[in-house]
Structure 1
Amino acid sequence: MNIENNGIFSRRTVLQSIAAATPLIAVGCASAQAGAAFGGGSDPVVQTQYGPVMGSRQNNVYTFKGIRYGADTSQTRFAKPNPPAEWKTILPAHEYGAAAPQKNQNLKQSEDCLFLNVWTPDVSGRAKRPVMVYLHGGAYNTGSGSDELYDGTNLVTKGDVVVITINHRLNAFGYLSLTNLMGGSYLDSGNAGQWDIVLALEWVKANITAFGGDPDRVMLFGQSGGGAKIATLMATPAAKGLFHSAATMSGQQVTASGPINAEKRARAYLQNVGVGVGDVEALAALSTERLVEGIQSQDPIDPEKGLYFGPVLDERMLTRHPFWPDAPSQSSHIPMILGNAHDETRIFIGRKSPETFDMSWEDLPKWLPKHMRCDISADEVVRVYRKAYPDYSATDVFYAATTAGRSWRGQVEEADVRAKEKGPTWVYQFDLGSPDDGGKWGATHTIDIAAAFNNLDKEGAFLGQGPDAVRVADQLSSSFIALARNGTPNSDNLPEWSRYEVPERNTMVFGKTTELVSDPRKVERELFAKVPFIQWGS
């Protein structure tokens, strides 16, 4: 079937073509130029650099799910990814591709996981719209780009943009540092998951024009681990020029894992799966399931926690820490939003330890040291918080201090070093809380995802759909769209959002009202500035 020229394709014709044809198995980039073909009442077909894909259309939004951007990683386990083989026949893109192997049993999983999803208002290839690429969270361990909460339909409809989500390797498959343990094999294993993301962004650069996007206006946004991946990419030479603005939501990566600690973690993992140092064949022979089981190891650096996986200062992909001792010069010109939720740790800790919601003042100093993740006097923390916030309960102080000490602190570090280098930076604080369970979760971790996607009605959203939630979702999603389009988050439905500079530290607070506030948690920031920030996993 010839699809180089625009035309109309019925689902029956396409499926007959797929059934009758033999796929091309050569590896490499297709020589055909990317283009689009679609027609009224039929499914859209777009020619990518590797082969044609057929999506679907609903309510003037074209959706392509499960587009392959990389080859099966079971063939390149613990190594850099390869581009996919070319194909000639039209491949249906109606279902999400497999997620990376992980402990989450509710997802379809496979080592063959390098897929992305595209939502767009147009596949003619004539327009050049801003492109918003979302990196999912899950602390480098879990998650995928197929969560219903990340559906791009509402952003596309609202902002006339193209939205993309991706899957990539996680945990041991994506971040196990085997460089010095396997005789020179797997030199890029510690950052294989990051190399997957780079490959996906290269796909975007080469193909997004055919989907109505502008390869010179690519914005990255991500929450939690997704934000940390973006912070890492900002210091990654291989990612230079692949994105042009960024927004991180409760996700920081001030420092990467050092190579020595990363190797210690890899040794612990190998011991857990029963593979000796240097035994490349035994490691390659392990099943996917056994490799997932090995993730359950204790961390040798902090045995109270599970084994950490994350980017590694390997002197190959990463030759410096992402935001230490300063902001990376390669991305200092990139417009960037940094955001955090006011009550990050309520969901982290509260779900596992519900007794913390009935904490006494006597118990508070006993709970704080473990959960603040920094070496500071618990008694002093309690004293400062009780003076600053006399109406707070012991539970309120606990969650405020653990949020400031272990979660928000990394954002402050990144924003301050960006400000020192005059990088265009804007900061927000998400204060509007969830109405669920009587409001006890507050403005907790992940609450701003639904607002950013304008997906308040999706499963996993817990911001509610009241007037304040609708207003804040409209404002936050508008600011992200504006950043992607214009390089600034300012939009008509927001107060003027000035850049973050030191010492003012202007911060847009999204709450019962939305307003720009100077250094809104100054007391807390100054308290924890007494002690060094140590990124978990580094």
Structure 2
Amino acid sequence: MADSAMGRRAVLAATAAAAAGAGAAGVAGAAPAAARPSAARPVAGARPGGPVVVRTAAGPVAGAREGGALVFRGVPYAQPPLGALRFASPRPPRPWRGVRDATRFAPPFLQTVDPAGSEDGLYANVWTPGTRGRRPVLVYIHGGGWQVGAGSWPTYDGRRLALRGDLVVITFNYRMGAFGFGYHEELTDDRTGDCANWGLQDQAALLRWVRENAGAFGGDPADITLAGTSAGGASAWQLALRPELRGLIRRIVPISACHVWAPATSLTVPDARRVYEEVAARLGTTVRGLRAAPAAAVQDAWFAVFSGAPGGRVVGSGREYRGPVVDGRWMRAFDHELATPAVPVLSVHTRTEGSFYTGPGSPIPTPAPTDDASLRDAVRGVLLKGAARVSDSLVDGCVDAYRAAAVAEGLPLDPVSLWTDVWGDGLFRYLNVRLAERHARTGTAPGYLMEFAHPARPPWFGTPHEHTSPFLFGTYGLPGNVGACGDGAGEVRVGDAFMDLVASFAHTGVPTAPGVPPWPPFAPGRASALILGEPGGARVAEVSKGGQLGFWDGGGWGPRVLG
């Protein structure tokens, strides 16, 4: 599952090294969602076949024509978060007068898996069929465990999706790790009063930038669909819950969303405070002084605090990943504790999310179980991602429940298959399905649920977490993706269908595609989930492996979805 720029498994490898999760973002504060009408217009006088110049609200940018599309790379959507703006809410980009080159990607945000990373990383990339018209806008938030990733990675090239779907496709970078997701009052922004979740603030700033500038790129600023995978899928859901963004986001496509909860994937406020104080102490400064410390030193100290097994760290939360913190402002509560978004939702999960971690090249390498005893040890390791202590009875109950469900459904009983499903369900599939069920019961807008089932090629197996991205973007044939994805006629059919479904959802709110049966809104207990990627073609059915999910409802581990 490698990206053509770097291993897509490496998207989470930095987090794994620190822990021992994905791969392969307006103005700051609570400003009103309704931005002023777009002042952006194409700049007259561009030469046919030459650079394409459009005028954004901050100044003109020159993009390129590539493969039938127009692409604008490295367009600033906020000021660089440097110096005094480190740990500050994002500020609108400073205006410029001359034509800014937008033919090359900006560096990814600072991260351990890419030496080219930089704190100066708040930039957007735009693919469009043309600058005239008012197309729906699809904004995509990359994943990577809130630690790594970039909208510029080749897997997320938006050209094919923009052309096939007649969409304006936008990717971008946002602050991550120590600079993006945490909390401390000593880092309060004097302008906004915010002291947490700077990466989430960046994502909201990007959406406001899109609202203001979509018209320059042939997009409709009133028709924005927000999509994302893993951490990005969770962000799409979280942003849709923000009251001031509800009029800006028209619908969402959360894919394999890693919904945050403590202690697994979020720090508590006391723990976040302690981590920044520990980082400052390691660097011989104060928490406020972290704004002036070398960025690489802050990053290294942050990962050092989270090195080793969770039980040996100075804090007990953030055991697997460190996503948004419940700060009462940018995140009022965890997703499972809040009402469902008041927008149409197309939720996607893969059939075996966990095979991303249990297959070759896992970002969190763990010996595979071979017998009952090692299976129970492996399952205990999964459960320890979300609890400080795991009893023998909880481990036994989990193994027994998954084994019984596998027998009932005629699924494999080998230790690796059982371990894979426990891992994927506990961290991803359980909350994705249960939140889709709640949206169907209590939501005010339609919801659709897709199980992506296209199998990975050996030596990978199942349908791993993040196996969706190459098919959504049509980049499965890239050198770094083709080994796991393939690029034959079957892959073309699956990719085209996936792109068509998401594009039609962005255009009309109803996902349709040639060769795909009519797909009704999701209704729990009825054949209403779309299964995409099986050899026999797409079909509508009940959610598969439903029996396995029952363990998490009453297992005494993890969150419960109420309502």
* Shorter-normalised TM range: 0.7 to 0.9
The CA distance in 2 between the partners of 1:303 and 1:253, in whole Å, is 18
Query: Who is 2:113 aligned against?
Result: 104
> Does 1:487 pair with 2:498?
no
CA distance in 1, matches of 2:267, 2:254: 28
Say if 2:413 is the partner of 1:392. Answer: yes
Is residue 319 of structure 1 aligned with residue 325 of structure 2?
no
1:80 to 2:59 alignment: no
1:259, 1:479 → 2: CA distance? Answer: 32
Out of 205, 215, 240, which is 1:234 matched to?
Answer: 240
Which of 428, 435, 444 aligns to 1:407? It is: 428
- Measure, in 2, the Cα distance between the counterparts of 1:432 and 1:516: 15
Report how far residue 402 of structure 1 moved: 2.1
What is the CA RMSD across the aligned residues, in angstroms?
2.8
- 1:257-268, aligned counterparts within 5 Å? 261-268=268-275
Partner of 1:514: 538
CA contact (8 A) 1:135 1:165 kept: yes
- Deviations 1:123-181, CA, capped at 9 Å, x for gaps: 23xx11111111000011111100000001111221111110011111110112012x5
Q: How does 1:102-181 map to 2 (within 5 A)?
A: 102-106=111-115, 108-124=116-132, 127-179=133-185, 181=186
Does the C-alpha gap of structure 1 residues 189 and 99 become closer, same or farther in structure 2, counting only changes over 3 Å? farther
Please tell me the residue identity of whatever aligns with 2:228. Answer: G
* Of 466, 470, 475, the match for 1:450: 470
CA shift for structure 1 position 307: 7.3
Find the partner of 1:294 among 276, 288, 301.
Answer: 301
Matched residue, 1:419: 440
8 A Cα contact 1:136 1:226, kept in partner: yes
The count of corresponding residues between Structure 1 and Structure 2 is 497
Residue aligned with 1:465, SS:
coil
Pairwise CA distance, 1:386 = 4.6
Query: How many Å apart are 1:188 and its aligned residue?
Result: 2.2
Partner Cα separation in structure 1 for residue 36 and residue 102 of structure 2: 18
Give the corresponding residue for 1:284: 291
* Equivalent residues in 2 for 1:207-218, closer than 5 Å: 207-218=213-224
Residue 67 (structure 1) aligns with: 75
Distance in 1, Cα, partners of 2:47 & 2:448 = 42
Classify 1:92/1:525 alpha carbon distance in 2 versus 1 (closer, same or farther; 3 Å). Answer: same
Aligned to 1:530: 554
Letter of the 1:142 partner, please give it.
Answer: V
1:250–1:411 CA contact under 8 A, matched in 2: yes
- Whether 2:229 is the aligned partner of 1:192: answer no
Match of 1:341 in 2: 350
With 449-458 and 163-172 compared, the bigger mean Cα shift is at: 449-458
Matched position secondary structure for 2:121: coil
Deviation track 1:291-320 (CA, whole Å, cap 9, x = no partner) reads 110221125587697674221221222334
Could you say what secondary structure the match of 1:395 adopts? helix
Deviations 1:462-507 (A, max 9, x none): 3111232221111111100011111111233311111112332621
Instruction: Name the TM-score, length of structure 2 as normaliser.
Output: 0.82
| Structure 1 stretches lacking a partner, 5+ long | 1-28
Match of 2:492 among 463, 467, 470: 470
Q: CA distance change for structure 1 residues 196 and 465 in 2, over 3 Å: closer, same or farther?
A: same
User: Residues 183 and 89 of structure 1: is their aligned pair in 2 closer, same or farther, counting only changes over 3 Å?
Assistant: closer
Secondary structure at the aligned position of 1:149 is classed as: helix
Q: 5+ unaligned residues in a row in structure 2: which ranges?
A: 1-34
Q: How does 1:355-374 map to 2 (within 5 A)?
A: 355-356=367-368, 359-372=370-383, 373=385
Q: Are the counterparts in 1 of residues 129 and 168 from structure 2 also a CA contact under 8 Å?
A: yes
Deviation of 1:182 after TM superposition, in Å, equals 5.4
User: Following the alignment from structure 1 to structure 2, what is the Cα–Cα distance between the partners of residues 195 and 305?
Assistant: 20
Contact between 2:189 and 2:195, CA under 8 Å: does it hold in 1?
Answer: no
Give the deviation of 1:193 after TM superposition: 0.8
Q: Which is higher, the Rg of structure 1 or of structure 2?
A: 1
Quote how far apart the aligned CAs of 1:254 are: 5.7
Give yes or no for contact 1:70–1:82 (8 Å, CA) kept in 2.
yes
**For the Cα contact (< 8 Å) 1:228–1:253, is it kept in 2?**
yes
Write out per-residue CA displacement over residues 439-467 of structure 1, whole angstroms, 9 at most, x where no aligned residue. Answer: x4321011111111122212442311123
Distance 2:521 2:253 in 1: 14
Tell me the TM-score normalized by structure 1: 0.85
Counterpart residue number, 2:3: none
Corresponding residue for 1:5?
none
Distance 1:245 1:271 in 2: 40
> Whose RCO is larger (CA < 8 A, sep 6+)?
2
Q: Does 1:94 align with 2:116?
A: no
8 Å Cα contact 1:152-1:453 kept in structure 2: yes
Deviations 1:211-232 (A, max 9, x none): 1001121111111111011111
Range moving further from structure 2, 317-326 or 163-172: 317-326
Paired residues of 1:338 and 1:426 also in contact (CA < 8 A)? yes
Q: Give the 3-state SS of the residue equivalent to 1:508 in structure 2.
A: strand
| Mapped partners of 1:459, 1:131: distance in 2 | 28
- Opposite residue 481 of structure 1, the aligned amino acid is A
Query: How many angstroms does 1:187 deviate by?
Result: 4.5
Distance across 2 between alignment mates of 1:391 and 1:84: 54
Distance 2:128 2:399 in 1: 53
Aligned counterpart, 1:16? none
Q: CA deviation at 1:253?
A: 2.0
Aligned residue for 1:54, secondary structure, equals strand
Taking only the aligned residue pairs, the percentage that are identical comes to: 25
Select which of 37, 59, 74 maps to 1:51.
59
- Structure 1 435/100 Cα, relative in aligned 2: closer, same or farther at 3 Å? same
Q: Which residue of 1 aligns with 2:27?
A: none
Q: Does the CA contact (< 8 Å) of 1:235 and 1:320 recur in 2?
A: no
CA distance in 1, matches of 2:531, 2:79: 43
Quote the residue 1:431 is aligned against: 453
1:256–1:322 contact (8 Å) kept in structure 2: no
Native 8 Å contact 1:273 1:290 kept in 2: no
Q: What is the CA–CA distance in structure 1 between the aligned matches of 2:543 and 2:456, rounded to whole Å?
A: 24
> Could you tell me how far apart the structure 1 residues matched to 2:232 and 2:559 are?
16
